[in-house]
Structure 1
Amino acid sequence: MKIQNINEEYHYKFQEGNFQIVTIKIDLGVKEIEKNKISILKSKATDIFNNHLFSECFDLEIYFQDSVGYCILNYKESCKKIIRKKLKLALDELLIQKNIFMDLELTLGIGSIVEDLSKLYQSFRLSYYAMEERILLGRGKLIENVEIRDNHQYITGIFSELNKSMEKAIEILDKDLLITSIDEFKKMLLGNQNISGEEIIDSVNEIFKIYVILIRNNMMEIENKAEFSNEFNIHINNCGSVEEIFEYLKNKFLKSLDKIIEDKRQADTKPIRVAKEYIKQNYMKQISLEEVSSFVGFNSSYFSHLFKKESGKNFLEYLSETRMNKAKEFLKESNLSISVICERVGYCDIKHFTKSFKKIAGIKPNEYRKLYS
């Protein structure tokens, strides 16, 4: 599309000359920042760029999407050096805003200069690539003259090991193994001196996808999955260093796994809670381990193991304790005879009842009644 046509359609004032994209990155971190503060900073950045650069350009357009601003510069070849100088001045003035916006960091990624508007994407690509280099080179800088690196083969190799260790960690819900796996991957990733910021960010996004897939494959659920993913995408793009990125990733996974582990614990203990309620309602009957395990949907051997694990006592001990606690209530609060109480709490043999009561209470039923009468 010709410059004239673009100007007519989009109301620009482009002319033949140099075109260049500058990416303005506002790093918000993982803290919640007031939206009005961000809006004010975006407006301030737009004003600063216009004040420093507009007079040197045929046209200057700025567009912000979330925490990233894209500035198109169109200027004469003879203004190339002054544009570079003005960009540095604009950044310096932007950095002064840190005194006002304490939690925010700013970086400029400078794209290549192109003379043909159809090649503007090349400038955009390099400006964005330069901006992502900030996680390695540091924020608060003007990053330019970057070369795109390709470490695809190396990254694919270390992902193979990460996949295996993450799969094992998720399968057994081992948080320590998961964190160790990510730390080892990070160590190997940064061990490549040629690695780029873009490749690190892409790798972290891939780790996130692997986590989500493994959770699903293991028949587990992430609470509010859409919100979980959206929050990750927002915050990961607002981390301004490698350390910040990986710490956020690990904390995100840990919180998620904690919830999954708790949900699983609740699911595992629900049958025990149901069983205890069943015992509470039926202690006066001749109930058995087989009857209760069938009621909650387990075979008796597995139920017996699970009941002991969750309750700290076996089924018969818990049933006996429940019956004796009820017997104590009857002894303290009623005039029922010992034999009647014996029957009401599920015993057929008063001798067995008395022996069981003494084993738990330390004294016989009639002595207990006298003590509390």
Structure 2
Amino acid sequence: MKYYIIAGEASGDLHGSNLMKTLKKVDPAPKFRFYGGDLMQAQGGNLVKHYADMAFMGFLEVALNLRTILKNLKKCKEDILSHRPDVLVLIDFPGFNLKIAKFAKEQGIKVYYYISPKVWAWNQKRVLKIKRDVDQMFCILPFEVDFYHKWGMEVDYVGNPLLDAKEAFKPNPNFRAENNLSDKPIIALLPGSRKQELNYILPDMLSVISSFPNHQFVIAGAPSFNADFYKQYTQDLAVPIVFNATYDLLNIAEAALVASGTATLETALFKVPQVVLYKGSAISIGIARMLVKIRFISLVNLIMDSKTVTELIQEDCNITMISKELDDILNTPKRTVMLDKYEILAKEMGSAGASEKTAELIYKYLKKAS
């Protein structure tokens, strides 16, 4: 089968790579063409465009980069038409992927969606477009099944692929030595993988270092950047940066400051107490507050449907609040409470196997349709 996969972010690259790995087990002769990153490229096939050139965060940032986005859409449509895949597999990234879904459906190409867009958060009527343009939806969050059912759409719940990635992880016993890390307890900084996230959030993360002299802060670097790129943020601070080793970092971290996104759930699965941060342009945040209709922004709190981790958003994302919350999860009973809730979260998430289940369903549906 010919698979055309589109992932527009670092998390999508991770999930896409695991999906490709398992598709190779169920399909005797898979051919991959994709938008993604280094992890997907390692699985073979043809990388058309790297996600580092596609990801824009926030309403204002999207507007400012509209010409680039439209150019990317045009090239993607042309490439899909020229290669005519058996199926288009979309991974999250809704602003781009829902437009491509509509186009592919009009061209008679099967459209499968792995990892649902967060249509439950805002503009829920987008579900109607998904019903029209998507042939199969594979969900990774338990509450999404009931959400889609209320809109008259049956979906497949496959579990969460982060469990697959964590299960496959093998700790590097020489991680500290190889990265010249001290013996101090480590606080992991996960500032995201997009320039806009780093610009808004990383300086605030770094601002609290002097308040915790007995800890070593370590940045989980995004694979789309290099160490020189981070120097504009760290300047004279002696902050190590590790690349392609986020799980090794979380595996030994005592606590973490995490940009809202998939990383919040990964941090919880590694049982690392965390503070979730989110900041953007005033215009983007203002628009989001008018449109978003959910109580929380972190996946941990959304799945638990209660405040498990503290979320510091926009004006609350400052040195005073970050320092206080970080101190709480290091030195007060709040740490134990959070770890106890993580145990409940782990049970709610279930077991690993999302990639395998999704690959098997994709291949089964394709064989049935052929």
Q: Provide the TM-score with structure 2 as the length reference.
A: 0.24
Larger radius of gyration: 1
Q: Provide the TM-score with structure 1 as the length reference.
A: 0.23
More RCO (CA 8 Å, sep 6+): 2
